Amino acid sequence: MDYTVLITGANGLLGRVLSSILSDCGFSVISTGKGAAFFKGHRGCIYEQMDVTVQQNVEYVLSKYNPDCIINAAALTDVDACEKNHDLCLSVNAHSISYFIPFLKQNDVHLIHVSSDFIFDGSCGPYKEDDPCNPINYYGVSKLEAEKLIINNNLKYTILRTSLLFGKIDDKFNFVTWVKSNLENGSKLNIVDDQYRTATFVYDLADVILKVIQKEKYGVYHVSSGEVLSIYQIVCNIAKCYGLDASMINRIKSKELNQFARRPLNSGLLIKKAIKDFNFKPRTVFNALI
């Protein structure tokens, strides 16, 4: 039976990986993004320009392809940009979902929504799925608003919260390539050692998304490496993987960085639920890259 999956944010790291993996698994994939495609087409994959903040654009694409499942990977993830432009942040990360809701309800379509560890304040991490949410920056506010919109509309949904997504060195525009290119160019990096994350390998998240579709699992899940490391430790792991000079990595405290938006100190995600339901076996940062 033909099964069509529509991906938003297909030009991003996760969207590009999903387009490839789901196409290879035999799904009909409609990859959508704002502007032209950044990636080469895959077998069984069609690219369609779609701006999730434009209602008519969304409605046109949904009616054209009538997907069985929508994976919402579109997001404004620049935390400082979100803090500076609340309207744009909410428009992309939360309000855009309202344009999908009528289609989702009328056709009983499964929505898989990618959320964030930044819905937590970081004061007592790592966190379980049912721990209280209390975002301390506007990016987190917008991601929590999106979750509420999905849950309150009684949709057939799966919310996947993830943390510091990274890919391989040939996956453009991700944290690993930024670290590697800077160190190779001899640039010193000032990296905080008092913020902790459970960095997530993009292929592990994509594997869970595939299993969510196959097993028809609904609800809220945390998907991460489960390995709580400081951002400094994560960067040192990346340097070690590629044989780069870790002495170029300068450890600092958050207050020295003067970031425009506050960041949670420990927003690690506990993953027991995903391990149980999906036999999830995530890779650590080091093991993912070697």
Residues 6+ apart with CB under 8 A from 69: 3, 4, 5, 6, 109, 110, 111, 112, 213
**pTM of the entire structure?**
0.96
The β-bridge relationship of strands 189-192 and 249-252 is parallel
Collapsing DSSP states into helix, strand and coil, what is residue 116? strand
Q: Identify the pLDDT of residue 224.
A: 98
Banded pLDDT at 174 (limits 50, 70, 90): confident
For the chain, give every domain's residue range: 4-167+199-226
Q: Identify the pLDDT of residue 36.
A: 82
* Residue 253 tokens, joined: 């405290």
| Vertex 71 angle, CA 70 and 74, to 5° | 120
| Amino acid at residue number 146 | A
Q: Which residues of 239-268 are buried (b: 16+ CB within 10 A; e: fewer)?
A: bebeebeeebbebeeeeeeeeebbbbbbbb
d(CA 249, CA 92): 34
Residue 110 has pLDDT above 60, yes or no: yes
Residue 275 has pLDDT above 60, yes or no: yes
Banded pLDDT at 173 (limits 50, 70, 90): confident
Banded pLDDT at 274 (limits 50, 70, 90): very high
- Backbone CA torsion sign across 269, 272, 114, 89: negative
pLDDT (mean) for 270-282: 97
pLDDT (mean) for 66-78: 97
Q: Identify the pLDDT of residue 171.
A: 72
Lowest mean pLDDT among 6-15, 95-104, 167-176, 214-223: 167-176
3-state SS record for 36-102: CCCCCCCCCEEEEECCCCCHHHHHHHHHHHCCCEEEECCCCCCHHHHHHCHHHHHHHHCHHHHHCHH
pLDDT (mean) for 173-182: 91
**pLDDT tens digits, one per residue of 228-269:** 999 999 999 999 999 999 999 999 999 998 899 999 999 999
| Matching residue, tokens 């944290």 | 175
Collapsing DSSP states into helix, strand and coil, what is residue 211? helix
Collapsing DSSP states into helix, strand and coil, what is residue 191? strand
Residue 102 has pLDDT above 90, yes or no: yes
Collapsing DSSP states into helix, strand and coil, what is residue 127? strand
Q: Identify the pLDDT of residue 90.
A: 98
Q: Identify the pLDDT of residue 1.
A: 52
d(CA 87, CA 187): 35
**pLDDT tens digits, one per residue of 26-66:** 999 999 999 887 766 566 799 999 999 999 999 999 999 99
**pLDDT tens digits, one per residue of 112-150:** 999 999 999 999 999 999 999 999 999 999 999 999 999
User: What's the burial of 124, exposed, middle or buried (CB within 10 Å: 0-12/13-18/19+)?
Assistant: exposed
pLDDT (mean) for 166-177: 83
Residue 277 neighbours by CB distance under 10 Å:
15
Q: Looking at 153-253, list the stretches that DSSP marks H as alpha helix, in order from N- to C-terminal side.
A: 175-184, 202-215, 231-241
Check whether domain 4-167+199-226 has CATH 3.40.50.720, yes or no: yes
Q: How far is CA 169 from the centre of its chain?
A: 18
d(CA 268, CA 23): 31
Mean pLDDT across the chain: 95
Percent of the chain at pLDDT > 70 equals 98
